[in-house]
Structure 1
Amino acid sequence: MSAMDLKENKFLSVGLLIVATMVVAKFLSAFLMPKSRKRLPPTIKTWPVLGGLIRFLKGPVVMLREEYPKLGSVFTLNILNKKITFFVGPEVSAHFFKASESDLSQQEVYRFNVPTFGPGVVFDVDYSVRQEQFRFFTEALRVNKLKGYVDQMVVEAEDFFSKWGESGEVDLKYELEHLIILTASRCLLGREVRDQLFADVSSLFHDLDNGMQPISVIFPYLPIPAHRRRDQARKKLADIFANIIVSRKRADKSENDMLQCFIDSKYKDGRPTTDGEITGLLIAALFAGQHTSSITSTWTGAYLLTHQKYLSAVLDEQKSLMKQHGDNIDHDILSEMDVLYRCIKEALRLHPPLIMLLRSSHSEFSVTTRERKQYDIPKGHIVATSPAFANRLPHVYKDPDRYDPDRFAAGREEDKVAGAFSYISFGGGRHGCLGEPFAYLQIKAIWSHLLRNFELELVSPFPDIDWNAMVVGVKGKVMVRYKRRRLSVE
């Protein structure tokens, strides 16, 4: 055999060895590699490195609209060194909402709130402590407490709207934002803030609010002017509440507000809440409720004033309740306002202020999609769902882009037909919004007063969505012409 033949045989042997090795490796990988390597969700195609970030920042809901028809209800977006896996629809959302904190955690993805809320509360403590702090919120929002809050809401609404003239034009969005902060100050922050320190505290909260920029989510401690003002405001608020808390503890009488509930709260080991914790919990409560309630109040009005059928229905409901109860409005009467409730719920379905909910995956888990495909979600992925997108799925809601409060009426109840987690404007499961009952009562109290006392007409175009806001709300002014009236029960 010639040297050339030997050389060719050597190359052939090496080639066969390489092919055989690849075949064996492939065969072994099918049995030995983790399942997540075999059944990963499809990935959104983007330019390398920055492509995913650019698509996400241009608008996550727009991206979901484009990718969901192509990729189905579970898919992944690569953003720099992070992988975000989206769950779309009730069929795949159960694990997202029901998983334990050890499997899917809020803490890592929401730590950007720590500079605003402060140390030692919510996302700056481990899960067991956070659960106890959430228990404090639950205690502060029990029905017996809510009944007292409603009385305060009604008084604030009556006082606020008494300053309107006999007729005129107002920016409804601006008006409701201010009324909500007044109501929240009284029910949550307390009498001292509402009666004596409202202007100071409101200004400081404004600086705190403006310190929550999109860049803050990634770099919460970046030394920018908005963050410096945020940190200064946070310190001043802590000083103000420290003085109020000391005064409350010295006083004999107890106030009916969330501040008093937090002062009286104790951990399971008997330890009382500290002044710093009380301040942080109050700030968290106001942040959770202020924007969301004012936004939902505004959308509720915009839809009612452009849909005569439902405006007539809520007016008829108010007349019926006035016939039974006179001018009284309390917790139990607000609870009877089912038509108004459905109108608020539908506005919130179409426009949930929190358009993206996030968790961090601490363990691998599997999910079966509506399309009957199974995927394994690896440990380390960020898992996301979007109320703004999921609330408009056509297989869950008939004609999903249409305002139709009757979809929640008895006999239809579209949010229940498709199963749990079909309606996620308030989240759901383990981390559902604790303030949901408070929010509905607050918005009902405001709109009940408006409906009974004013004729209203939307004179500006129907508003657009402000996708650029951290809490997605109403873009621009919502101009309304009003005329004072007395709703007749005839």
Structure 2
Amino acid sequence: MMDLADSQQRLIAGAALLLATIAFVKLLLGARSRGKRLPPTIPGAPVVGGLIKFMRGPIPMIREQYARLGSVFTVPILSRRITFLIGPEVSAHFFKGNEAEMSQQEVYRFNVPTFGPGVVFDVDYSVRQEQFRFFTEALRANKLRSYVDQMVAEAEEYFSKWGDSGTVDLKYELEHLIILTASRCLLGREVREKLFDDVSALFHDLDNGMRPISVIFPYLPIPAHKRRDRARARLAEIFATIIKSRKASGQSEEDMLQCFIDSKYKNGRSTTESEVTGLLIAALFAGQHTSSITSTWTGAYLLRFKQFFAEAVEEQKEVMKRHGNKIDHDILAEMDVLYRCIKEALRLHPPLIMLLRQSHNDFTVTTKEGKEYDIPKGHIVATSPSFANRLPHIYKNPDSYDPDRFGPGREEDKAAGAFSYISFGGGRHGCLGEPFAYLQIKAIWTHLLRNFEFELVSPFPENDWNAMVVGIKGKVMVNYKRRKLVVDN
């Protein structure tokens, strides 16, 4: 009995010590937290936190919490905490922090099943930087010049098949043309001429394998992921064959595929077939969606607001007075009106809802109202181009389509300082493909403005929030009529 009593007492004493220790740790952590000015945290359900609100729609959630809590707030999701920084006043560290401070790799690893092993987010930062150098070299000005010639040729061939008049789904037509152009400029002549239908279908399965659930559970054995994995394996086989053929024949092409084949790491090692395939897939993913979605939104807004359509047509007349029918890299660069029309469509409808980083150190932000918040190490940090691009203290009438806001004398995106316009990200990880995207969309709409009249006959389109990359819901039906642009001498 005494032994049992002693055991019970020791058990009670041990439990008391454990409770005291827990209380002390909580007190210590509480003291540390009280010393910090932590961002306000939205309330959430036990365990899942704000996951339900997040999955119902990040933008409605951000809109609600921004109005309630301001430009800095934290959302608990499962075991993680996501702190949102909305607006240029609080997002500088997000964009400017180096990889040791603000890392991409941890938060974007869900891309690995799509891009494949050994590239981008499946390698350490030093290797990823070298691979980004390969992208930079493939998008240098001299390369872009040769790509423009291919873009123009693809547009001319594609629209030559339209009749003198008709009705088309502009979204479908531009999506199809963009993938054709991307196949020629990025994936290579072999794909464009012989394997386009096969590769296009495989990319469709790869694309549809990127769902919101994929961010949290990228390897979940759902049908979309299984199709994604089969498509990725087949694409690897196709490109391995093309790469071997090029190397065996010694032939060289003017495309991104060739640039990646010829690329070498600093230690002299050549890229592998697997790396080339992964880099190509990453490039197409980055460029195809942005270009097809933005070219469609540009058209929809130009047809809705006739004054901007008329200004864009007038600009084409002025350009043609100087250069005739010729279109090349330098001539596209002269088209400031068209550039602003595209940029404004992209401000209103950036394809990426959120940009993410993993914080590896504590840092402090100050809101425009002067409030200071300490962001703890270990938080996922996020910003939202979709929301930040429409802040009323930066953009006048932010929900209105007004390309002139970027014109001389206004330049609203520059007046509030850096990171006021983040459709292409910014800072250390700004989109390398931004010049390529603008040239591609300009080449397409230059041809359309010069050769066709249009009328939007379906309702003005809406965002499709169901995809990882925000597209356009439904069809965008237009009537077209072929014309020849008359230039007054």
Cα contact 1:459–1:481 (8 A) shared by 2: yes
Cα contact 1:360–1:382 (8 A) shared by 2: yes
Instruction: Give 3-state SS (helix, strand or coil) of 1:255's partner.
Output: coil
Shift of 1:49: 2.9
Matches within 5 A, 1:296-375: 296-375=294-373
Q: Output the CA distance in 2 between the equivalents of 1:328 and 1:215.
A: 47
Output one character per residue of 1:313-351: Cα deviation in whole Å (capped at 9) or x when no partner.
000000011111111000000000100000000000000
Q: Output the CA distance in 2 between the equivalents of 1:59 and 1:32.
A: 32
Give the aligned partner of residue 210 of structure 2: 212
Given candidates 81, 86, 89, the residue that maps to 1:88 is: 86
Alpha carbons of structure 1 residues 307 and 48: separation in structure 2 relative to 1, 3 Å: same
Q: Output the CA distance in 2 between the equivalents of 1:179 and 1:295.
A: 12
Matches within 5 A, 1:175-254: 175-254=173-252
Give the aligned partner of residue 142 of structure 2: 144
* Structure 1 range deviating more: 251-260 or 35-44: 35-44
Letter in 2 for 1:430: R
Instruction: Give 3-state SS (helix, strand or coil) of 2:172's partner.
Output: helix
Given candidates 44, 55, 59, the residue that maps to 2:57 is: 59
Give the aligned partner of residue 98 of structure 1: 96
Q: Output the CA distance in 1 between the equivalents of 2:370 and 2:55.
A: 31
Shift of 1:38: 2.6
Shift of 1:35: 6.2
Aligned-CA RMSD value: 1.7
Cα contact 1:36–1:378 (8 A) shared by 2: no
Instruction: Give 3-state SS (helix, strand or coil) of 1:305's partner.
Output: helix
Output one character per residue of 1:13-68: Cα deviation in whole Å (capped at 9) or x when no partner.
xxxxxxxxx9xx99xx7999446753100111233333501111111111121111
Give the aligned partner of residue 162 of structure 1: 160
Output one character per residue of 1:239-292: Cα deviation in whole Å (capped at 9) or x when no partner.
111111111112333210000000010001111000000000000000011111
Alpha carbons of structure 1 residues 31 and 350: separation in structure 2 relative to 1, 3 Å: closer
Instruction: Give 3-state SS (helix, strand or coil) of 1:90's partner.
Output: coil
Letter in 1 for 2:228: R
Q: Output the CA distance in 2 between the equivalents of 1:32 and 1:86.
A: 23
Q: Output the CA distance in 2 between the equivalents of 1:381 and 1:289.
A: 29
1:72 aligns with 2:62: no
Letter in 2 for 1:482: Y
Q: Give the TM-score, by structure 2 length.
A: 0.93
Instruction: Give 3-state SS (helix, strand or coil) of 1:91's partner.
Output: coil
1:401 aligns with 2:393: no
Output one character per residue of 1:93-120: Cα deviation in whole Å (capped at 9) or x when no partner.
1000000111111111110110110000
Shift of 1:206: 1.0
Shift of 1:214: 1.7
Shift of 1:211: 1.2
Cα contact 2:320–2:487 (8 A) shared by 1: yes
Letter in 2 for 1:127: Y
Instruction: Give 3-state SS (helix, strand or coil) of 2:207's partner.
Output: helix
Output one character per residue of 1:374-422: Cα deviation in whole Å (capped at 9) or x when no partner.
1111111110000000000000001100100000001110000000000
Q: Output the CA distance in 1 between the equivalents of 2:53 and 2:44.
A: 8
Cα contact 1:36–1:375 (8 A) shared by 2: no
Letter in 2 for 1:245: I
Instruction: Give 3-state SS (helix, strand or coil) of 2:91's partner.
Output: helix
Cα contact 1:367–1:375 (8 A) shared by 2: yes
Cα contact 1:205–1:233 (8 A) shared by 2: yes
Give the aligned partner of residue 14 of structure 1: none
Cα contact 2:165–2:481 (8 A) shared by 1: yes
Q: Output the CA distance in 2 between the equivalents of 1:36 and 1:347.
A: 44
Output one character per residue of 1:433-455: Cα deviation in whole Å (capped at 9) or x when no partner.
00000000000000000000000
Letter in 1 for 2:203: F
Letter in 1 for 2:400: R
Instruction: Give 3-state SS (helix, strand or coil) of 1:163's partner.
Output: coil
Cα contact 1:121–1:277 (8 A) shared by 2: yes
Q: Output the CA distance in 1 between the equivalents of 2:366 and 2:249.
A: 58
Q: Output the CA distance in 1 between the equivalents of 2:331 and 2:70.
A: 44
* Structure 1 range deviating more: 47-56 or 339-348: 47-56
Give the aligned partner of residue 463 of structure 1: 461
Cα contact 2:102–2:359 (8 A) shared by 1: yes
Alpha carbons of structure 1 residues 32 and 208: separation in structure 2 relative to 1, 3 Å: closer
Q: Output the CA distance in 1 between the equivalents of 2:152 and 2:30.
A: 65
Matches within 5 A, 1:19-58: 33-34=31-32, 37-58=35-56
Give the aligned partner of residue 16 of structure 1: none
Cα contact 1:361–1:381 (8 A) shared by 2: yes
Cα contact 1:35–1:376 (8 A) shared by 2: no
Letter in 1 for 2:436: F
Output one character per residue of 1:163-207: Cα deviation in whole Å (capped at 9) or x when no partner.
111100000000000000000000000000001111111111111
Shift of 1:230: 1.1
Cα contact 1:460–1:480 (8 A) shared by 2: yes
Letter in 2 for 1:106: Q
Identity %: 77
Q: Which runs of 5+ in 2 are unaligned?
A: 1-19
Given candidates 281, 286, 297, the residue that maps to 2:284 is: 286
Letter in 1 for 2:181: T
Letter in 2 for 1:467: W
Instruction: Give 3-state SS (helix, strand or coil) of 2:192's partner.
Output: helix
Shift of 1:219: 1.1
Shift of 1:221: 1.0
Q: Output the CA distance in 2 between the equivalents of 1:454 and 1:228.
A: 43
Instruction: Give 3-state SS (helix, strand or coil) of 1:383's partner.
Output: strand
Aligned residues: 466
Q: Output the CA distance in 2 between the equivalents of 1:38 and 1:306.
A: 50
Letter in 2 for 1:298: T
